[in-house]
């Protein structure tokens, strides 16, 4: 069991500086179980805590684990340069609590993106040593052929990579569509592998990480959700 003062709770959840959170509390903007709390120094049990700010309910979370169905033309960066950053899609509280993308998708790549403020989780999920498979669906410029699939499964050589890179699995759902499973996570890997194999990627979507499938989350483009323990368990290497 863990108790924190109410101002520290609000600060930890991204509602602003401790001073600002104290002012919110003193102004009567915070309530718990229907009771307005005006003392910022009152100690509150955080486990299972639900509180209301401006009549909106929030569940206390020590860390947040988020899945986003990333739209095109958003950058996976806290300091976006040419396009809006993915953090602009989320409530501003998440920026204040240092939520970050787990790895990156190109600005024009859509699909499943994890985000969190848990440093060890971000590191573990980003580490190539964990060999977490990721599923991508690529729309190709030229029709997919058996020869293309064979090349990707056998491995292709990319510039600046010491060894060939091969797909774990590869199949053709449609004449101009390729589902490819990778575990390396190299820069622009799918696009570069397709180019090395003699085709071109016109569009790309990540549909799965580990055992977590985007379709199962029911998220439209631009929508996000919290991940529960069962969903997080699906992110383990298979």
Total residue count of the chain as it appears in this document: 238
Reported in sequence order, the residue ranges of the chain that DSSP labels E, i.e. its strands, are 3-5, 30-32, 35-36, 43-45, 50-53, 56-59, 65-70, 100-101, 110-116, 134-140, 169-174, 177-182, 201-209, 212-213, 224-226
DSSP 10: H
Give CA–CA dist 86/104, Å, rounded.
10
Contact 202, 144 (CB under 8 A): no
Give CA–CA dist 166/150, Å, rounded.
10
Residues annotated as catalytic (active site), given as ranges:
106
Distances (CA, A) of 65 to 49, 62, 75, 102, 146: 17, 10, 19, 10, 39
Give CA–CA dist 209/126, Å, rounded.
11
């Amino acid at each position: 069991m863990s108790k924190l003062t109410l101002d520290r709770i609000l600060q930890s959840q991204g509602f602003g500086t401790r001073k600002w959170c104290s002012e919110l509390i003193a102004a009567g903007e915070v309530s718990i179980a229907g009771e307005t709390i005006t003392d910022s120094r009152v100690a509150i049990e955080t486990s299972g805590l639900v509180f209301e700010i401006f009549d909106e309910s929030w569940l206390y979370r020590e860390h947040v684990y988020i899945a986003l169905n990333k739209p095109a033309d958003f950058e996976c960066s806290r300091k976006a340069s040419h396009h809006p950053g993915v953090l602009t899609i989320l409530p501003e509280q998440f920026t204040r609590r240092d939520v970050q993308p787990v790895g990156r998708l190109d600005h024009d790549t859509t699909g499943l993106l994890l985000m969190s403020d848990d440093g060890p989780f971000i590191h573990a999920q980003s580490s190539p040593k964990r060999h977490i498979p990721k599923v991508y669906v690529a729309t190709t410029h030229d029709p997919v052929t058996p020869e293309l699939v064979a090349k990707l499964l056998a491995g292709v050589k990319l510039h600046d990579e010491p060894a060939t890179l091969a797909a774990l699995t590869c199949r053709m759902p449609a004449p101009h569509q390729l589902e490819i499973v990778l575990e390396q996570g190299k820069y622009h890997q799918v696009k570069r592998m397709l180019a090395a194999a003699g085709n071109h990627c016109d569009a790309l979507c990540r549909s799965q990480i580990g055992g977590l499938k985007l379709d199962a989350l029911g998220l439209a483009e631009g929508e996000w959700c919290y991940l529960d323990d069962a969903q997080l368990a699906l992110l383990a290497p298979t």
